[in-house]
């Protein structure tokens, strides 16, 4: 029976604690450890197509609901706003925040790269041009206006079918404004979209139960294919990158969070399920739907979550920014190419542009690295082969940092816009929510 609070309002009794083996993050953590063991001891088994399919299948399950979630959340958020100027104001604030924080990420990567010099003494690495040809070719497209035109879908159905986040986001914003303009006539459609969003979040709660299987398959295949030797070979770069990313999250994001009145450590504990899923799959997109749901529970308004989080997946990639500056300097040092101050300044400018649109898909950071190297100094492009073998391990840290950055960005923009419920923020950071709990997912306001 519900108890009465000091204000007289009914308070639901806390649910009984789950056994540890039923908690999602524990299951995912165990799956990751088992994946590493299987990949290390039985690489032939780990590289089996069915093992690989476990990780790929889970990511596909998540990706199939990303487009509908973005559409429902963005449309509902905009349609319920009476003032159209508010949407534009939220968008501008988000972009300003993205650019400022992304610049910090780029500068930190550049400073650490120059101080630590992880590539010094590596020797002239043999460049395997064929190994990086695919990435370099994809990077060429990012140097033209094709990226801007690509935001506009050929057809609305095609945008949803291909899962293009920016294309779906563009159509969702336009549809939301159109629905807003209908006024009361659009009530039925708004109600339908709100109900559809709850249903899709219910699908996510079910899909999340397969997260341990996906994490096991992805991690086992990675270790089995690349081997632990791939990590040991360039341990200096990996360690430097992980430490730099940690410095950014705990210091830069920590200070930003403190200014907004919450603890970065409590926030990270709140999203630990999503962090472990990203660690296992190396894709921040795998945690996008449940991340949006948790941010709404945390007290961020639906309109802010719907606009900031999907946009951040293309415009607020802090981990990718750190990686690009650090990896560029590493390659230059490994190949014995001295970069001038002007060239290093060019890295900041070019990386700021090439990182846009690199979503949480595994390998996207490597493609943007190719685009950055080609502009800074073409001699560096073949050096991508130096980091090709360990990029899979680097992508995990990129995705984790990107997820943390986007989560904090949403809370900050909501606070900046006056759309942050402080009571919810405090209450939810103090307790844990399992995203597989379907009842909680559908009833928590």
* Average confidence (pLDDT) over 61-70: 78
Please tell me the predicted confidence (pLDDT) of residue 413.
Answer: 92
Buried b (16+ CB within 10 A) or exposed e, 104-118: bbbebbbebbeebeb
Rounded-to-integer distance, Cα 129 and Cα 395, Å: 21
* Nearest partner of 299 among 436, 152, 415, judged by Cα: 415
| Cα distances (Å, whole numbers) of residue 124 to 110, 231, 380 | 21, 19, 12
Count of CB atoms situated within 10 Å of the CB of 363: 16
* Per-residue pLDDT tens over the stretch 3-23: 443 334 343 444 455 676 677
Q: How many angstroms separate the CA atoms of 346 and 343, rounded?
A: 5
pLDDT digits (tens, 9 = 90+) for 157-201: 888 888 777 788 788 888 888 888 887 788 888 889 888 877 887
- Domain locations in the chain as residue ranges: 21-443
Mean pLDDT of the 263-290 span: 83
Q: If you average pLDDT over residues 47-75, what whole number do you get? A: 80
Per residue in 279-320, pLDDT (tens digit) is 777 677 778 888 888 898 888 888 888 888 887 877 778 888
CA torsion through residues 133, 138, 142, 144, sign: positive
Q: In the 8-state DSSP scheme, what is residue 186?
A: G
Rounded to 10 degrees, what is the CA torsion of 414, 418, 422, 423? -110
Residue that is written with structure tokens 């986007």 in the block: 406
pLDDT over 60 at 34, yes or no: yes
User: Percent of the chain beyond pLDDT 90?
Assistant: 8
Q: Which CATH class is domain 21-443?
A: mainly alpha
Alpha carbon 409 to chain centroid distance?
12
């Amino acid at each position: 029976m519900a108890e009465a609070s000091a204000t007289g309002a009914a308070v639901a009794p806390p649910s009984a604690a789950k056994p540890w083996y039923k908690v999602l993050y524990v299951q995912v953590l165990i799956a990751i450890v088992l994946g590493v063991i299987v990949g290390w001891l039985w690489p032939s088994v780990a590289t089996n197509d069915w093992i690989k399919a476990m990780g790929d299948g889970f990511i596909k399950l998540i990706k199939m609901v990303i487009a509908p979630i973005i559409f429902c959340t963005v449309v509902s958020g905009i349609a319920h706003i009476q003032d159209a100027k508010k949407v534009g104001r939220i968008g501008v604030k988000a972009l300003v925040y993205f650019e400022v924080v992304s610049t910090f990420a780029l500068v930190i990567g550049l400073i650490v790269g120059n101080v630590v010099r992880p590539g010094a003494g590596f020797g002239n690495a043999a460049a395997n041009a064929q190994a990086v040809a695919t990435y370099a070719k994809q990077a060429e497209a990012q140097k033209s206006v094709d990226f801007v035109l690509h935001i506009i879908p050929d057809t609305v159905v095609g945008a949803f079918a291909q899962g293009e986040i920016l294309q779906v986001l563009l159509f969702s914003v336009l549809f939301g404004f159109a629905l807003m303009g209908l006024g009361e006539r659009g009530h039925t459609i708004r109600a339908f979209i709100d109900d559809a969003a709850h249903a899709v979040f219910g699908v996510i709660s079910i899909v999340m139960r397969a997260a341990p299987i996906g994490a096991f398959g992805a991690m086992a295949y990675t270790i089995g294919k690349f081997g632990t030797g791939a990590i040991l070979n360039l341990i200096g770069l990996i360690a430097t990158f992980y430490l730099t990313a940690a410095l950014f999250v705990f210091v830069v994001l920590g200070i930003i969070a403190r200014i907004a009145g919450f603890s970065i450590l409590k926030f990270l504990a709140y999203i630990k399920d999503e962090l472990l899923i990203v660690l296992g799959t190396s894709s921040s997109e795998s945690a996008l739907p449940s991340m949006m749901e948790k941010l709404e529970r945390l007290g961020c308004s639906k309109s802010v979550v719907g606009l900031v989080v999907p946009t951040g997946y293309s415009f607020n990639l802090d981990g990718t920014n750190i990686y690009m500056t650090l990896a560029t300097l590493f390659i230059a040092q490994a190949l014995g190419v001295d970069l001038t101050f002007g060239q290093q300044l060019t890295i900041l400018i070019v990386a700021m542009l090439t990182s846009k649109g690199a979503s949480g898909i595994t390998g996207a950071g490597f493609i943007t690295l190719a685009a950055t190297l080609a502009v800074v100094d073409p001699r560096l492009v073949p050096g991508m082969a130096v980091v090709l073998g360990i990029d899979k391990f680097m992508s995990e840290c990129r995705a984790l940092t990107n997820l943390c950055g986007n989560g904090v960005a949403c809370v900050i923009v909501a606070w900046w816009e006056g759309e942050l419920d402080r009571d919810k923020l405090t209450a939810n950071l103090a307790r844990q929510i399992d995203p597989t709990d379907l009842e909680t997912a559908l009833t928590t306001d």
